[in-house]
Structure 1
Amino acid sequence: MDAGEVTRKSRPSKSKKKGGKGTQAISAEDEAKRREAVKEQLRQKLELERKARQVVERLLEDSVTEEFLMDCAWHITPANYKDTVEERSIAKLCGYPMCPNKLTNVPTQQYKISTKTNKVYDITERKCFCSNFCYKASKSFELQISKIPLWLRKEESPPEIKLMKQGDGGSSGQEIKLIDKPITEADIDNPIEDSGKDPPLPLVDSHAQHQIQKRIVVEKLSHSLRDIVGPLRLTMSDVINDVNNLVRTFRFTNTNIIHKSPEWTLIAVVLLSVLTEVSPLLRESLASVSSLEYISCFMKELKLEDKDLHNLVLLFKPCVPIQT
């Protein structure tokens, strides 16, 4: 074997070099396709959520037709429907969308003792409705709404929705077992409090009210956070403790805890942005390209700009001037 042959064998071939460049090009192309696919999924998800909000707005009207209520079940989630019931009741409308009745004489207590059934009922949800029938009809409809996320339903068939008819009966609320012995009529005026059980009447002092308001805020934020932590490549365990600690510093009233679903999601994004100051994990996650794209798409869906998010975050830093 001569020197020229040895040199030829040790020299890398042009085909291998070209193959390496080709592999890099394919990898870059795949990454671009993957990012575009993620962006398209986000666009589709936001569009479905926008349509769901439009449906909820229609369900807030004085009364809704039977056909529309059955059709809309495939375009909303159980959480969307719970928001509908809550917002109708806030507007003093019966929570069942097909009922045009106004809510009057809404009870203030949390529990009701029925001498007819000898049972105790938690009427927290029941107070959102004008009658036992509307409460039961609403719960029946809610249970038929698919729990599959909106963006995964295109491969599924819409379920057949059956609405209750007048005369099918109703319920006083969710049964609560407080004591083993039967409840008598005298228990209505003299409720029995059993050690270790929930009291028949809720606490009404200012501290208890603040605790209830904080619980409402945490529940609403948790619901919104579950929708956004995935696209931000986070988990609930990554953020919930920091969010709870931040919420604990807030001062609540009966009015500043009432928001619609997209507003709660915006609040969740704002709080996560605020927490980047103390959480390296959040700071790194929200600075990623995919997170920035997701948040930007979300802000555009609300007809807001990125600077609007920046200004909302600055509300927690009053010493810094707000952008205009």
Structure 2
Amino acid sequence: MEDILSRHRKELRDLQSRVTQKKKQASKKTRKAVNEECERLERELKEKHEQEIREANGEVDEEEVSGELEELTLQVDGEEEKTNGIGTPSQHEDTEQPQPDNAAPTKKRNRQKDRLARRAAEQSALADQAALEAQSLPDLKHLERTRMLASMAAHNLCEIEIRADGHCLYSAVADQLKCLEIPVEEPGYKSTRIAAAGYISSNSDDFVPFLEEPLEEYVHKIKDTAEWGGQLELLALAKTYKVDICVLQDYGRVERIEGGGKEGEEKKEMWLGYYKHGFGLGEHYNSLRKKKDGKKEGG
């Protein structure tokens, strides 16, 4: 295998000399054809070397040979740039100088390590660029939070933070039900999940057109998993408990979901805060309570 590699290196050097000479002798009219011929010679030699390596059972790294050919191409291109552009060598072109007999041998470069170092440098540069671009982006979480706090103050509301565990909508509704003195069994999120699942099952005609999966699977996710809740579940809970649900969102927008209730009865309402950017898992609901005399309701 060492003999094969030694011969490959010699053939690469010979090809380098031939390609360099061809490109130097090329005129403007023949340069394109000469470049194509040189590329063909390089490609054929590379394929020949790779075939010989495969026949030797792959005991050496093919990437090393490919790297040598890549370096050869770069060297040839460098030689071409030294010419005057009309196929004649420049006056400043360096000539090969013989090495003194007592010159110290130069250490062979590890081309694979060089390529890995270049890749690492490129990746580091890309990471630095991404970090720089991120600094120029707005802090969506901070901006949303600032606007939400201002909207809460305008509605005389204070926030009860709910754990971001997939049950946040149901836990927030359970907290509001307790404030309204509507009985809820513990754990609260489990009771509200069962209530939402039961209402959707009993009124399937109102919900099936909006589902992207069979009703049974959808109800199972509501009742027995930590699947997030959304608009349909809020509607089901509002109807179940006969309570209007007011959802405060960014920029002060309030979405009211009517719970129905009997005519003549005083309407009850609950408040939830909806965040799009404020929490790591994504969309999130918190419970919002009315303030009384500067204090939290119930606290």
What TM-score, normalized by structure 2, do the two folds share? Answer: 0.22
Between Structure 1 and Structure 2, the one with more strand by share is: 2
**Larger gyration radius, structure 1 or structure 2:** 2
Higher RCO (CA 8 Å, separation ≥ 6 residues): 2
